[in-house]
Structures are given as structure tokens and as C-alpha cells.
Structure 1
Amino acid sequence: MNNSDVHMIYVLLDGVGDLPHPDLDGKTPLEAANTPTLDKIASNGTIGEVISVGKGIAPESDIAVFNMLGYKFDHADYAGRGVIEAIGIGIDFKNGDLALRGNFSTLNEKEIIVDRRAGRHIEKEDADGVAREIENKIKFSSPDTSVVVSPTIGHRVTVRIRSKSEDLSSRITNTDPAYSNIGGMGVAKAVGDFLKIERCLPLEENKEAKFTAEIVNEFSEQSIKILRESEINTKRREQNKKLLSCILLRDAGNKYPDVAPINEKYGMNFSCIVDMPVELGISEVLKMKAFEAGGLTDYEEKARVAAKAMESQNAIYVHLKGPDEFGHDGDATGKMKNIEEIDQRFFKTLVENIDSSKVAIVISADHSTPCINKGHSDDPVPVLVSGDFIKNDGTTRMTEEQAKKGSIGLLQGAEVVKKSLELIKSQK
């Protein structure tokens, strides 16, 4: 498939999809937001709906993004988010190692989880300090087992366990009670308030899975003790900060993913602008050139770099964080304001710097994060394909409601890039 004559900027707004919310007079954040630039882009295009991974699956970001880039995995073929994040931050990882995604979390004295994200904003020196303590003090029952604990952004941490004598298995359950491990894919669970760190159990009755589950439980039990006695937590308590009491683990993986590079798949120069470890891991796995474009919320810089990239690339994927975090916090008004900020700072700058008679803009989301759920859901998200050469279908706004009526119809996530390219080429 050669698409070298197409120019496309593909923007995923993390977790932007939502459900009507009482704080917004029964509107979704996209409906309630004042978005003049997005409205202009929508009026110059066509819209539809996307189920990113599958009906009934509230996906994690990694598997959702792979799907939205056209990569659909069977459960058994997926490497797991732990591996993708390890690759993204440059941890030495090889087949037979175990990589897991973790959250620093806060427990009370009864070891009940009081904050799955330990306040979300954690000073790097504290996170790095306790990570070194765990690495240095932990003593596994199998003496040739070692661990690397790598904090990334905020509460996020990647853990890699290696055994010199055994290949480790990815067929184990999560210790994070908020996510299930369904055949290697992380799926968000509906959770209540009374949560405890879960025991890791083997999902297969073999030596490797049983050994791996034991090692993970040793990591959990010992790291809780090490963190309880850490001077860093003593200081955090004195400063009234949330304690880093444990690391909740999920999404185990034990092999490097085997996928076709994205440029081979689509026959084009496909690059990206991404920030998070999981996104960087995906770009590395898909051999997708990543452009530097400032920090998480440097929206103008990201827009300028994306527009400039059209001189050397013919597709660039831009992942914008922001809406998702407000969804997890249940803050519908904050999510609405964040969408308005992205409209003013990212999309306005982008439109000012591209020629819409030559460059198409495709906008969607990796998944919905409804504020009333405070977590990911399987609700469809809008997808918008816009450009002077795209026939408008009466769309005036990019909202969940208008997406239901758009002429694109309902797509699976893995069809979005292909469908967008077909629309652009047929109408150009």
C-alpha cells in the first residue's frame, strides 16, 4: 500500500470521550466546551464513531493506541504494557525477563489502598530514592533473581525482574485490583472504595508461572516493608504528603513484540509526537520516528512541530495527554476546560501553520474516560477526518452525539488509519 502522496496529521486526545455529566447540565465535556477551532475543523470534514479495542472492553492506553494505529492483537500475541513501557524508557529487556507496569500507591495502617496514585504528583527525587532502596534491600528466595525499579512520570513506575536460572512467565494475575489481565491485555474493572493489594496468582499450572507468581509476591511483601521503614516516607509524613506505601503491579510481559514497522504497513513516512513511556515504547516497537516537541502541555510547540513535519513526513501521529487525567479524577469541569485549552493552544496553532488544501487532520481518542466512572470505558469515541478536499456531512462539532450521525459510521479502532487514508485519497 503506497500512500506517499497523502499528508495527514493524526491527533489522539487521550481519554476525551465521555458521558453526560450533571456538573455540565447533562452534557459531555466535548459538548459543553467552547471549541471554535475544532468546530471549524469539523465543518470542513466528516465524522463517525470508533470502538477502539472491542465491545465490552474498557482498554488500557497501550492496547488502545496500537489498535488506533492499525495493529489488532489476538490476546495471546500481545507483549503486555510492562514490556512496552520498559522499551520506552530504555530498560535492558530480553525475552524471558518479566516487565510490569506499576503505580506507587498509598495504604493505610490496615493495608487498604487509600490512593492508587499516591497523590499523582510525586517528586522525582522521592520516587527515585525509594526505588533504589527497594532494589538494594530486596532479597528474593531465588538468589539469582534481580529487579530494576524505574519511576517514570508522576506515580508511574516500570519494574523488570530477571532470573538467571528460569524464564519468567507472563501468565500471572495483577496485584493492582483496578485492572484485570485478560490474555495479556489490561482491562479496567469497575472498582469500589475498599481495595487491597491482590496476591499474584499463576494463570497456568506450570513451573514457570508458579515461580513467577511467587517472585512477584515476594517483591510486593518486601517492598511494602522496605517502604514502611524508609526515611523518605518519614519525611513525607512530616510534610503531610501521601506515602509511597507500595507498588501495584499489572500487565506482565515476557517477550519483545513482533510486529511490522508502521512505514512498511502503510507505505509512508509515519512519525510521531509522544511523551509518555508507553507511547515512546509503541514508537520504538513500530519503528516510528519520534520528534521532540516540549513537555506534556506544550501544546503550541507540539502543533508547530507537527505542521513543520509535513515538509519531511507524510503522516504524523500526535498523542495529547490531559483529558484522561481529569476523567480519572472525576472532574468534568476541569476536563471541559482542558479541551478548551487544547482547542485554543494546539488546534488554533496547527490550523494557522498548515495548508488545509493539502494536509488532512484526523482527530479521535484512544478510549473514553467518563468522569462519572473515574476510569476507562468501552464507550465509542468520535473520529473526525477534515480537509478542504473532504466532503462535509453536515457535521458542525466533534461531539459524541454528532459522531453517531456522521457519514463515516461505526469503525473498529484498527480500521481508523486505513479508512482515513481511503477517504483522503478518494476525495483529493
Structure 2
Amino acid sequence: MTANKINGKSNKKIIYVLLDGIGDLPHPSLNNMTPLEAASTPNLDNLARNGSMGQVISVGRGIAPQSDIAVFHMLGYDFKNKLYVGRGVVESIGCNLDFIDGDLALRGNFATVDDKQKIIDRRAGRIILKEEAISLCDTLNQNIHFSDKDASISIVPTVAHRVTIRLRHAKKKLSANISNTDPAYDKIDGMGIAKTTSETMVIDKSLPQDNLEESLLAANLVNEFTQQIYPILDQHVINIKRKSNGLSPINSILSRDAGNKFPNYQPINEKYGLNVASIVDMPVEVGISKILNMDAIKAGNIDDYEIKGKQAAKALNDYNIVYVHIKGPDEFGHDGDAVGKKINIEEIDRRFFGSLINNITVENPTFLICGDHSTPCIKKSHSDDPIPLLISGNRVKKDGSTRYTETSAERGRLGTLVGINVLNTAINLIT
């Protein structure tokens, strides 16, 4: 299917940028401004003056979503029900981990715990070299053993502290209807929901959520491998070296968002009658791109903003919609670093949006800019706070906005939208 033969909509050209965790709240370190308000963003401000703003609740009020379910919703897929396959499956697809129906896939975080399983750092300080992650996962895969000899495990490192876990039983299917060991997230109808956390968290025990044998088996296997990680890793040569260098040891894994079936969702090109490409980095977004049959475009590493801007501009010549996911702001939100988030936003404005705008050659492009969720620095976690939305271009009615901020979004003419309606709204706004 080519971009010039899709339901007569080939003249619509949209750059869809999701700034991960961009929404925020006033912070004392920024004179009670949000990072967006405090940042100098001339490129975003120019786009705001040429468009209309609004705000978005990506999944639903009262729901602090994880990125997987939030991105699906922001692409127009409503999974607030038990049809969702779970983040573990999405990430396993994203990192090419062999997965079949009846396996159990989970998202995991390398973490630092003490000998009582109290969590010291949910991300092991974030400073994890790729070779460290590979070596530690190899050690775990070789040394974790189950009481049930028909069970096996594969742990694959992805990016920084993130891993994907696959449990398989040779004779039985495993149920995904189990709870997380990561105490920072609940699992509701297959969706991962951020919880309010405290400074004294311990690893939770995975519990079956029904009385089925396959749920009890799955929970038991998760608990078995979780209990083995600390004694295997704490005195690993990598951790001895890390401790001597003042770094957090990588001695546990927090798991969440189990899934046990391969997804079968409508391809995004069919859904909108438009050709869609993606520029994404993280396993979860890569998985979503694959599941929805988007063409993936490689554009450097996570923070290669200039390359991403240039590649997005180039791709718009061949596609109707180019979806770009930029990770940076979310991590500063989780770390509670409002100043760092402000600086990162300024970098994205200068390096990504500057490159994007300077390299676009198609006539009358539309810029759709939003986030997948808010990650307020003051909360250090995802929240259900509204996300600023901007739809900008010569074919979009202007509403007098002058800046891309939460305050401008609240006043914008687009009002408050739910995530599943955002992309359709942008498509229909183009005159």
C-alpha cells in the first residue's frame, strides 16, 4: 500500500510526536513553575502560535497509566478491558524474545535490595552498562532452577535497568492472572497502573488472582525465580566491582505486567486509511510498532535528537503519519529532577524540533505534539494529570496560544480529549 493510494487522504502529512512523561506540576525548584513553563522553547512556541491547544487524559481519569497502555490509547486503541495482552508480551515482541501462547512474559527492572528484600533503588541507580546487564542475565539464565523440571526461564536485557522475562512450561500453559512483585505497580484488567509509593518498599510476593491451576503455577514460578536472584547476584564479580566504585549493586529483579498470549490487533494503516511509520527506541514502543504493523525507521540512539528530527522529516515524504516517541522527560520525572527535566526539554526543542523543522520539505505538514502520560517530578511517578496537546500547521485553525505549556493547554480551544480520540481529531482538523 503506497501513501498516494489510501482512501484519498494522501495529502495529509502529520508528524506525531509523543514526549514521554512530558506533563508535570509546579515545582519549588523552578519557582513553582512546571518544567515546560520554565524551559526556553522557541521552536515549540512558534508551533504553538501556528495552531490550537488542548489537554489530554490518555487512558482515563483516576488512572496513572504505564507507557504501554498509554501509547496504545494515544494511537487510538482502547484497551481498558481484559483484551489487553500485557506489557510483558509487548516488550517480548519488541526485543525479539521467542514467545508463544501459553508462555508467560513479564517486564522486569534490575533493582538494588538488601538481604531482607527491602528495595533500596528500583532501578539500581540507572547506571548499568550493556555488558553488565548481558553478563548478569547470562548468569541468571544458567543458575536459576525450578522445583518443577518442566519449567524454564529466559531473561533478556533491553535498555539500561530494563529486562524482559519469559517463563515456559513444557507441558502446561501459564496464566497471566497473577499479581506483580514490583510494589510500585498494580495490575488491573491487564493494565499496569502506577501506585503511590513509599520509601520503605519490599518486593511483593506474586499471588494468583483466581483459583485456576495455571495461575497458581505461574505465581509460584515467579516467586521461585525472584527468591533465587539475590543469592546468585549479590556477590557476583560485577557487583563486587560496583560496590567498590560506590555504585548500587544489581542484585534483584522487580517483575510486573504478565501476559500469556500473542496479540492480534487491527493494523494502524487499516484503522486510519493512512500510511504510518514509527521512530521509536524502547522495547515497549518497538513492540507496539510491530504489533500494529508500522514501518520502523532507525534514527540513531535514544538521545540522538538531531538524527531523529532529520529522519522524521525525510520519512514524511513517503508516509502520511510519522510517529516519533522521545523518552527523555519521563526519566527526569521519575528521578524527581525538575531542573534536569527543564534542561532536557530545552535540548529536545533545540536539537529535535530544530532539526525537524529545518529539514521538512513536504508542503503544509501538521505537527501533533503531546505526551503519553504525565510524570510529575514532585510525585516521581506517572499520574493521571492532563497532558498538553498541540495541533499545529497552516491547515489548522489558530486559537491564540503562544507557548506549549500546561497552562496554555488548559485554555486551548480543543478542550479536554481522551487519548483514543487524539489522532482522529488531528486528522479531521486538517482542512
Do the two structures share a fold, i.e. TM-score over 0.5?
yes
Q: Quick one: which of 196, 200, 210 aligns to 1:194?
A: 200
Q: CA contact under 8 A between 1:99 and 1:159: conserved in structure 2?
A: yes
Question: Is the contact between residue 357 and residue 388 of structure 1 (CA under 8 Å) also seen in structure 2?
Answer: no
Matched, 1:136 2:145: no
Aligned to 2:276, which of 245, 259, 270?
270
Indicate the percent of aligned positions where both proteins have the same amino acid: 54
Are 1:325 and 2:331 counterparts? yes
Report how many residues are paired.
425
Q: Does 1:98 align with 2:104?
A: yes
Give, as a single letter, the amino acid of the residue that structure 2 aligns with 1:54.
Answer: G
* Matched AA of 1:104: F
Q: 1:142-185: per-residue Cα shift (whole Å, max 9, x none)? A: 10111110011110000000001110000000000100011111
Matched residue of 1:363: which SS?
A: strand
Say if 2:55 and 2:387, in contact at 8 Å, map to a contact too: yes
Are 2:125 and 1:119 equivalent residues in the alignment? yes
Amino acid at match of 1:225: P
Could you say what secondary structure the match of 1:272 adopts? strand
| Whole-Å separation in 2 of the counterparts to 1:239 and 1:31 | 38
1:290 matched to which residue of 2?
296
TM-score, structure 2 normalization: 0.97
Q: Secondary structure at the match of 1:49?
A: strand
Q: What is the match of residue 93 of structure 2? A: 87
- 2:158 maps to 152
Which of 346, 354, 358 aligns to 2:364? It is: 358
The answer on whether the counterparts of 1:62 and 1:81 sit within 8 Å (CA) in structure 2 is yes
Inter-partner Cα distance in structure 1 for 2:79 and 2:242: 42
1:19-418 mapped onto 2 (5 Å cutoff): 19-355=25-361, 357-418=363-424
> Mind listing any 5+ residue stretches in structure 2 that lack a counterpart?
1-5
Shift of 1:235: 2.5
Given the alignment of the two structures, is residue 4 of structure 1 paired with residue 6 of structure 2, yes or no?
no
Contact kept? 2:317, 2:362, Cα under 8 Å: no
Paired with 2:69 and 2:261, the residues of 1 have a C-alpha distance of: 16
Deviation at residue 24 of structure 1 after TM alignment: 0.9
* Conservation of the 8 A alpha-carbon contact between 1:10 and 1:318: yes
Once the two structures are superposed, residues 299-328 of structure 1 have per-residue CA deviations (whole angstroms, 9 ceiling, x without a partner) of: 111011011111111110000111101101
Contact map agreement 2:313 2:361 (CA 8 A) in 1: no
Query: Could you tell me how far apart the structure 1 residues matched to 2:116 and 2:72 are?
Result: 39
Deviation at 1:234, TM superposition (A): 2.2
What is the rounded CA distance, in whole Å, between the counterparts of 1:28 and 1:234 in structure 2?
40
Q: Give the root-mean-square deviation of aligned CA atoms.
A: 1.1
Gaps of 5+ in 1: none
**SS of residue paired to 2:82:** helix
Aligned counterparts of 2:198 and 2:149: Cα–Cα separation in 1: 38
TM-score, with length taken from structure 1: 0.97
SS of residue in 2 equivalent to 1:103: strand
Cα distance in 1 for partners of 2:241, 2:348 equals 37
Amino acid of the structure 2 residue aligned with 1:73: F
